[in-house]
Amino acid sequence: IDAQDKRKTASMLQDFHPADIVEVYEELNLEEAQFVFILLEPMRAADVIVELEEDDRERLLENVPGDILARKFIDRMDSDDAADIIAELPDDVKADVLSNIADREHAGDIADLLNYDEDTAGGLMAKELITVNENWTVATCLREMRGQAQDIDEIYFVYVIDNDGILKGTLSLKKLLLTKSDQVADVYDKDVISVSVDASAEEVANIMNKYDLVALPVIDGIGRLKGRITIDDVVDVIREEAERDYQMASGISSDVEASDNVWQLLRARLPWLMIGMIGGVFGAKVIELYEGQLSLYPEMAFFIPLIAAMGGNVGIQSSAIIVQGLASNSLGIESNFKKLMKELGVAMLNGLSLAAILLLYNFIDSDSLALTVTVSSALLVVIIFASVFGTFVPLGLNKLKIDPALATGPFITTVNDIMGLLLYFLIGHVFYGFWG
């Protein structure tokens, strides 16, 4: 982009949706990005800032003075987006920005929102609301709504409050269009699902998902309406939740992406690999215990990887089913005993089929009856152990209020590896005693 193209670039970008500008944006270096940014009209620039990834935004806004940030951009954002962005700024810039927001009511809303933890309903909500009083007439209502709507992008919901600001219900635009009554009290819907400011983001996501809500009002301890959360903010929570469980199961901590740099990726991966390696060292110790047996019957070493891998695979399956069930609240109401019985049933069937196939294979392929019987018996026992362990560790962690996803991935694989080896050599010891 050279200087002569300025006009062209500017007029081109005016027709783009902010989300598309963000995509163009990510391909530019900092200098080009700042250049593009200057060309955007402030409203669009504010939208682009909101859509940018946190890293990109920090880099871009680093050298922008607080008063310009406040007047040009923050003033034009919804309170929830503005609060998220201000929360990322260094403390001195934060105060500077807040004091330079022209609309003092907006500044007050943002300052309020900064008090909430970002993973709570308070941290997710926006203060932009259309509210009407339950004692108003329909005509007053429409007039007031017109006034309030000036500041708000789009009206999806109108909330009804009483004189103390307590949430009483919702007013449907449809009913407002159709009504013949002239009192709001006759028209509004008193069944309203709301959430407390300190509910967790996960609870908010579960409630909105369960009741198929597009927006959810947020109330304080005494029921006063404080803000509303819209589904688009929660979609990210839901997606991140599901992705995080997958990442934990894959041995990746903190929310990394392929586009992060080498150090971020390393920090997220190395600790889990360390756990795996320590497990491997324990595994080595287990095998060392049976060194005598191994030098007598070196063919026992052949099936070490098979037994270890199957223990790991089965444990991952079992824990993934439980972790997903806990995350989506779909575990159902089966008692733990029934769950255990079912998991045991699956494990027995898996174990018996695989052990039988392996028995047949070794019967044909191997000369050692002791090895053949050992490998298949160990496989069956390991599958049953790994299933039960993979089911109960996440359930147990969940009961202790520890994130059950921690139990998936390297931890459970490692424990199952070691236990698998122990069981394998123990069983081998017995059977070689008979047939060896």
CB-based contact 391:339 (threshold 8 Å):
yes
Packing angle of the helix pair 410-435, 369-399 (nearest 10 deg): 150
**367 binds a second copy per the rule CB under 8 A:** no
Residues 68-87 that bind a second copy (CB under 8 A): none
CB-based contact 244:256 (threshold 8 Å):
no
Residue for token digits 């069981």?
A: 423
- CB 8: neighbour CB atoms within 10 A? 10
Stretch that binds a second copy, among 29-37, 93-101, 161-169, 265-273 (CB under 8 A): 265-273
Q: What is the amino acid identity at position 291? A: E
- Closer by beta carbon to a second copy, 222 or else 258: 258
- Closer by beta carbon to a second copy, 40 or else 421: 421
Residue of 6, 8, 146, 399 interacting with a second copy (CB under 8 A): 146
Rounded to a whole number of angstroms, the minimum distance from the CB of residue 371 to a second copy is 10
**363 binds a second copy per the rule CB under 8 A:** no
Rounded to a whole number of angstroms, the minimum distance from the CB of residue 60 to a second copy is 16
Q: Compute how many residues bind a second copy; rule: CB under 8 A.
A: 119
- Closer by beta carbon to a second copy, 79 or else 350: 350
Per the DSSP assignment, residues forming a β-bridge with 216 are: 229
Residues 208-227 that bind a second copy (CB under 8 A): 208-214
**417 binds a second copy per the rule CB under 8 A:** yes
**320 binds a second copy per the rule CB under 8 A:** yes
Residue of 2, 3, 4, 27 interacting with a second copy (CB under 8 A): 27
- Closer by beta carbon to a second copy, 118 or else 151: 151
Rounded to a whole number of angstroms, the minimum distance from the CB of residue 75 to a second copy is 19
The residues, any chain, with a CB within 8 Å of residue 293's CB and separated by 6 or more, are 300, 425, 428, 429, 432
- Closer by beta carbon to a second copy, 35 or else 282: 282
Rounded to a whole number of angstroms, the minimum distance from the CB of residue 231 to a second copy is 5
- Closer by beta carbon to a second copy, 72 or else 269: 269
CB-based contact 132:160 (threshold 8 Å):
yes
- Closer by beta carbon to a second copy, 221 or else 298: 298
Stretch that binds a second copy, among 100-108, 160-168, 195-203, 268-276 (CB under 8 A): 268-276
- Closer by beta carbon to a second copy, 69 or else 213: 213
Residues 322-361 that bind a second copy (CB under 8 A): 322, 324-325, 328, 330-334, 339, 342, 345-346, 349-350, 353-354, 357-358, 361
Residues 274-293 that bind a second copy (CB under 8 A): 274, 276-277, 279-281, 283-285, 287-288, 291
Stretch that binds a second copy, among 34-42, 62-70, 91-99, 296-304 (CB under 8 A): 296-304
Residue of 265, 340, 369, 406 interacting with a second copy (CB under 8 A): 265
- Closer by beta carbon to a second copy, 8 or else 17: 17
Residues 190-209 that bind a second copy (CB under 8 A): 191, 193, 208-209
**64 binds a second copy per the rule CB under 8 A:** no
Residue for token digits 């069937």?
A: 349
d(Cα 83, Cα 101) in Å, to the nearest integer? 12
Residues 222-261 that bind a second copy (CB under 8 A): 230-232, 234-235, 238-239, 242-243, 245-247, 249-252, 256-259, 261
Could you give the string, one character per residue 377-416, with x where binding to a second copy holds by CB under 8 A and - elsewhere?
--x---x------------------------xxx--xx--
